[in-house]
Amino acid sequence: MLRGAGAALMTLCLAVTCGPRGGTGPAAPERAAGRPNIVFVLTDDLTVDLLRFMPQVRRLAAEGVSFSNYVVTDSLCCPSRASILTGKFPHNTGVFTNAGPDGGFPVFRRRGNEENTFATGLRAAGYRTAMFGKYMNGYDPASGHVPPGWDEWAVAGNAYAQVGYTLNENGRIRGYGGQYLTTVLGAKAEAFVRTSAQRKQPFLVEISTFAPHSPFTPAPQDARAFPGLTAPRGPAFDRLPANPPPWLAGRPPLTGDQRARIDDAYRKRAQSVLSIDRMIGGLRAALTETGVADDTVLVFSSDNGFHLGQYRLTVGKQTAFETDVRVPLIMAGPGLRRGVTIAQTAENIDLRPTFDALGGAVTPPDVDGRSLLPLITAGDARPVTHSGIPARSGMPKDSGIPENSGIVGAGWRTAALVEHRDPRAGRPESRPDDPDRQKVIPESYVALRTPEWTFVRYANGTREFYDRRTDPHQLRNTAAALSPARRAAMDAALTALVACSGRVACDKAAMVPA
C-alpha cells in the first residue's frame, strides 16, 4: 500500500479524477480536478464544549473526520496563528506572545515568516487565495500592508467588539459601523467562492473570525438565545489539583460574583458561535450552488482553547490544561474519510503541510509539521459520537466511544509540544477585555502532551504530570512520584523538541516512549 502524502493525493485523484495542474497567479486556466479547493474557518478561543451549539459543524463532523488529540503549540492567539500559517513551532517562528519583543505581528513579519506560508505556497501552485477577518495580534489595517501570498485581503485589527471596526481591503482602508463582523466576513467569503468558481481556478480561502473571543459579542439576532444557560460545572470547576504549581497554588474559591460572570461569559460565547455556524451554512450553500462542493475540503478549527472556572481560574487561556491546549479540528471533502475520529496526535503545525499536500505545493524542509493526509484518507480511526462531537481520551463510560480503539500508526508522532512564555512571570493580568481583572497567566513552561498523559516543565524547575487515563480532569499532579528514569526521559524529550527544526528532526524528537 502506498504511504505518505503521495498515497493520499492518489486517493484524492481517484475520488475526483485528476487533471493537469494549473499555472500560477490569478490568471491560471482550468482548475486541476485532483486538487481540491480549501475553505478554512479559524475561530478565536473556541472550545470543544461549544460544538453542541453548532449544528452545521456537527454535520461537518458526521460527513468527515474529527481529531480527538489535536493540540496547539501555544494556547495564545498570535503564536498559534504563526504556527498555523508557517507550520513551525514558536521556537522557530520566534513568536511567543501577542506583543512586545518576542511576539505579535511585528516580530512575525520582521523574522520573514510572511514570505513562507501556506498562502505563498498555494498561490505559487496556481491557487487563488483570500484571507478575511483576523490575521495577527498587533496588525494595523491602517498601515495598508497586505502580506505576500494573498490575492484577496480583507483584514481587521482590534475588532473583538464585532462592530465599529476598520478593514484593510486589498490596501484600501474602509470603516464599518454597525455591520456585525462575522456576517460581513461570511458575505465576503461567499462572493470569493462564486468568483473563483466562475474562473474555474482552485482556491483557498481562510475566514478567521474574532468570535467567540471576549467581549463575547453575539450577533443582534442571537443576543437573547439560551436564556438561563450556565457554564459547565465539571469535576475541575472551582477546584485546585493536588500538588498544584506555585503560580496556581493558593487560589481562593470562586466568589458568587465570579461565578455569575463566568456564566454570563459562557452564555455569550454560546450565542456568538451561532453566527459562525450560520456562516458555515452559507458557505456550504454557496459551494453547492456554484457546483464546487464536491471539489472542496472544508476545515474547521480554533487557534486555542479557553478555561472558564476550571482550577479556580476565571476566564483565560495559556495553561497546559486540556481546556486550553486541545481544540477541535474537523475536515470534510473529496477523498477524505467519513464519520470517523482520528486518535493520533496532531498539532496546528500540521495544517500548513496538509494544505500544501492537498494543493500540490512544495513544503519546505524547515517546516516542522507533517501532512495529515495519510491519517484522513487511510489508517485506523474510530467513529464519532452520536452527536457528531469529536471523541477524546477519557470519555465517560456511557459515551459509546471505546477507550482504547484508536491505534497509532507506525512512525507517527506520539507527543505534541506546547511552548509558553510569560514576560510577567505569573503576575495577575489586567486588560480591558478581562471581565473581572483577575486573570492569572502561568509562568513560562514547555510541555509534552500525548493521548494518555501531560508533562509540564516550568522555567523555575517545577514540574507537573497528569495521567489522563486515570485522571482525565487533571486533578492529581503526580510529578513527584515519577521515577528518576521516567522524569529524565521526559526532560530529554522536551529538550530535544524545543531545539528541533524541520519535519525530520521534529518527528524524531516527538517519538516519546509511553
- CA atoms of 181 and 160, how far apart (whole Å): 9
Q: 14: how many CB neighbours lie within 10 A of its CB? A: 12
- CA atoms of 224 and 111, how far apart (whole Å): 45
CB 234 within 8 A of CB 183: no
* Active-site residue identified among 18, 77, 78, 500: 77
Grid cell of 312 as nine digits: 479556580
87: closest CA among 447, 414, 353, 327?
Answer: 353
> Is 77 a catalytic site residue?
yes
One-letter amino acid identity for 191? A
Query: Which burial class, exposed, middle or buried, applies to 454 when counting CB atoms under 10 A from its CB (0-12, 13-18, 19+)?
Result: buried
Cβ contacts of residue 4 below 8 Å, gap of 6+?
A: 371, 374
- CA atoms of 146 and 210, how far apart (whole Å): 19
218: closest CA among 263, 174, 163, 177?
Answer: 163
One-letter amino acid identity for 263? D
One-letter amino acid identity for 300? F
CA triplet 183, 188, 192: central angle to 5 degrees? 145
Q: Which residues are catalytic?
A: 77
